[in-house]
Structure formats: C-alpha cells, structure tokens
Amino acid sequence: MDLSVIIVSYNTCGLTLDCLRSVYDSETVYSYEVIVVDNASKDDSVAAIREQFPQVHLIENRENTGFAKANNQGMDIAKGRYVLLLNSDTIVQPDTFRTMISYMDEHPGLGAAGCKVILPNGSLDKACRRGFPTPSASFYYAFGFSRMFPDNPRFNGYQLGYLDPNETYPVDCLVGAFMMVRQETIAQVGGLDETFFMYGEDVDWCYRIKQAGWGIDYHPATYIVHYKGASSRRKPVKIIYEFHRAMWVFHRKHYKRKYAWPTNLAVYCGIALKFTLSLLKNKLLTRSGTTSGKTDMPASANRPESANAQAEVRR
C-alpha cells in the first residue's frame, strides 16, 4: 500500500462526501486506502458514508475525542508507506496523490511534504507553509508588523509572505489540512500530541519531525481547495479558549527552556491579553449581530461545515 488517507469528520456530512468523491476521482497508479474517523457526529455522516462509500474504513467514535487523537486512531491501522492527513472540508485534484507521492519518493530525506492550499476565492491559505511561531515571529504576526512589511523576512518569519507561493522550498511547518508524512518518520517521532485538543497539533508535529532530522518541503506542483471558515459565525468560548491554550502549550513544551524568564513572562502575558481581547470581541459580535471570519493564528488550520463545526471537528 502506497498511501493511507486519514479524514476526521464531525457533523460535516456534505463536505466529507464531497471530499471523498474527489479522493476517489484521483488519477494515480499508486495504491491507497481511505480511513475516516468520525468523532460522534450528530448528523447523517456515518450512514451517508457507509451507503455511498462502503470501501472506506470507517471508525465510529462514541464521543468527540479531538482532532489529534482521532488522527492517531487512523494512523494506528494505516498500512501505507505514506500517511496523509486530509481535512474533511477539502477537495483534492486528480493529480494530487500522484504528484505528492512521486515527490516524496524522489526525496527520501523528507519526513513530510505539503502541496499548495487555496481557498474557494482562489487566494492562498497562508497556513500551508509557515515558519515556527517563535516569540519574535509570533509578536510580529500578532501585532501586524508582518502585514505592514510583507516582503521583509524579519517580520514575516511565521507566514513566510516574502516567499513565492509557486515555488518549492523547505519550510518549518505545514498545515494539518494536507500533510503527507512518511511512515518511517511516524515510527520515529510518534503521532500527534493529544495535549492539543483543537489547535496547534500540526505545528507541534512538524517541530518534532524537524528535530528528529527529517526535512519538510512545500511543493506547489499540485493543489487542494480548502473550504476553510465556510461560515463566519460567532465562536463558542471553548473554541477561543482552546485556540489560545494551544499557543501556551506549544511555547511551554518547546521554547520555555530556550528563553529567559522575562521573555517567557512576556509571551504568557501576550497570550492572556490576546485571549481577553478575543473574548471581548466575540461578546461585541453577539450584541451587534455582526459576523466575523475565523482568526488565522500561529497554531493550525480550521476545519468543517461552519466555523463552529470546523473547530468542533477537530477536536
């Protein structure tokens, strides 16, 4: 088996079915299997998948175990030389699997690779090729310096806006919406860290992959469409909390010992301030009845049918 495609679903029946259709429309000589892990969906996802795609290996969880744990369940039974984490709210192109497997085969030093990810309006999903969220990179991103100086590498260490999105190059981390990982790499570094319930698991995984000596490449020779933030409703408090908790968990796990206490204190205070402001903004949206798009922060990508469902899925 060449490839194991793992899709986590939660109340995203229509999107998941569309994703599966695109997967099975792939034009490739490589063999692949599809594993769907359903996190206790309350809609018709399970029944519809069983009826329309009986060849799918479907795992039905009785509760929402989180995005990381659900993907790990899929990895536990995956038989492919490569494992692909694929969002349920994505559409792959006919050549996507063929292009990415061939690229990985040609570069045995790569632990993971990702393709170009575009949004429905044709713009780049900037999370598909990123730098690590170091304290400085996160600061420049969070406070708008990266937008003010888009071509300056110093201020764009996180979203890499100064690099051409149509060229191939090494990156620090990819997005969990599409991440192809070598089985040998998984055997060495382990699966996703289940401490990250809703966000940040992809960044953490890439960090561990690079720490183990594997390369990670962004390869835009093919692309997928990511229906990210299909709806932009007010977000539940739990989603806002988990978003900011992921920042704290990642810094504590990977950077706390690398920086002096004043830097660590500044990071934690910054996260707390951003969390407070996000709660206030969310409350104002409720009162005003307006809507707002999902924030794309240094942690991970969204998922499924609405903004709220997307966050819930993962997690």
Taking the CA atoms of 257, 171, 165 and 123 in sequence, report the sign of the dihedral they define.
negative
Query: What pLDDT digit, counting tens, does each position of 145-158 carry?
Result: 888 888 888 898 88
Query: What pLDDT digit, counting tens, does each position of 54-85 carry?
Result: 999 999 999 999 899 999 999 999 999 999 99
Mean per-residue pLDDT of the chain = 85
The domain defined by 3-226 folds into Spore Coat Polysaccharide Biosynthesis Protein SpsA; Chain A (3.90.550)
Query: What pLDDT digit, counting tens, does each position of 280-314 carry?
Result: 877 776 666 544 333 343 333 333 343 444 444 44
Residue 98 pLDDT more than 90? yes
Range list of H helices, 176-222? 183-189, 201-211
3-state secondary structure of 142: helix
Q: What is the helix (H) or strand (E) element at residue 19, kind and residue range? A: helix 13-24
134 and 69 in contact (C-beta within 8 Å)? no
Tell me if the pTM is above 0.85.
Answer: no
Cβ contacts of 6 within 8 Å, gap of 6 or more: 35, 36, 37, 71, 74, 75, 78, 83, 84, 85, 86
> What's residue 303's pLDDT?
38
Query: What pLDDT digit, counting tens, does each position of 204-216 carry?
Result: 999 999 999 999 9
202 and 117 in contact (C-beta within 8 Å)? no
Query: What pLDDT digit, counting tens, does each position of 250-284 carry?
Result: 777 877 788 788 887 877 777 777 778 777 877 77
Query: What pLDDT digit, counting tens, does each position of 23-62 carry?
Result: 999 999 999 999 999 999 999 999 999 999 999 999 999 9
Cα separation of 286 and 235, whole Å? Answer: 10
Domain ranges of the chain: 3-226
Nearest alpha carbon to residue 6 among 64, 90, 63, 120: 90
The encoded tokens of residue 35 equal 């594993």
Which is higher by pLDDT, 123 or 272? 123
